[in-house]
Structures are given as C-alpha cells and as structure tokens.
Amino acid sequence: MSALLYLVPIALTLGLIGLGAFLWSMKNGQYDDLDGAAHRILLDDDDEEEEEEGN
C-alpha cells in the first residue's frame, strides 16, 4: 500500500498538468477562431509574421 503514497500524487500531478494546459490554451485564445486556422494554412504570405504580432 505504500506505493499509493507516490502513485496518488503522480496521478494528481498529471491531471493537474492537463488541466493547466487546457486553461492556458483557452486563455491564449486557441479556441477563439476555429474556422480561420483551416483556411489560413492555405495562405503563403511573407507578411504573415508581421500581422501575427501583438496578438
């Protein structure tokens, strides 16, 4: 049973990492424009980097 003493914290930490990643991606606006990304990939524009700035 002593295995639990580190297995449970490991399980919780992994879960927390997943939760953190999700909350981060949401805050970062990854889900704001769900259709645009699929179309944007078709553009090969050199100015793209410049436009992305400040987002």
Partner 1 sequence: MEAETVPNSKANCCSEEIACKHCGEPTRSTDFCCTGCEAAHSAAHAAEAVTSFASSAHRQENGDYRLELAVEGIHCAACIRLIENAVADNDDVTHVRVNMTTERVSYSWQGAVERGDRIAAQVRKLGYKLYALQDASGEAGSEQEKILIKAIAVAGFAAGNLMLISVGLWTTTSETMGFATRDFFHWIAALIALPTVVYSGRPFFNSALSVLREGHTNMDVPISLAVILASVMSVSEVMRSGEHVYFDSAVMLLFFLLIGRYLDARAKGKARESASTLLSKLAGTAAVLEDGHLTRVPIKKIKGGMTVVVAAGESIPADGTIIKGESDVDLSLISGETMPLHTYVGSEVFAGTLNLTAPLEIMVTKASENSLLSEIVRMMEVAEQGAAKYVRLADRAASLYTPVVHVLGALTFVGWWSVGAEWQVALLHAVTVLIITCPCALGLAVPVVQVLASGKLLKEGVLLKSGDALERLSMIDTVVFDKTGTLTVGKPVLLPGSYDEADIQLAASLASQSIHPLSKALGAAYEGPLLPLHGQEVPGKGLEAKYNGKRVRVGSRLWCGVQGVSEPTTDALELWLSVDEVPKAHFTFSDQLRSDARRVLDALQSAGVTAHLLSGDRLSVAKKIADEVGILTVKADVTPTEKCAYLKALKNAGHKVLMVGDGLNDAPALAAADASMSPSSAIDITQNTADIVFQGDKLAPVFETLLTARHSTRLVRQNFALAILYNVVAVPLAVLGYVTPMIAAAAMSGSSLVVILNAFRLRRKRGNI
Q: Is 24 in the site for partner 1 (CB under 8 A)?
A: no
18 binds partner 1 (CB under 8 A): yes
Torsion of CA 41, 42, 43, 49, to 10 degrees: 10
Q: Shortest CA distance to 31 belongs to which of 23, 39, 41, 40?
A: 23
Q: Does 10 contact partner 1 by CB under 8 A?
A: no
| Residue ranges in contact with partner 1 by CB under 8 A | 1, 4, 8, 11-12, 15-16, 18-19, 22-23, 26, 32-36, 39-40, 42-43, 45, 47, 50-55
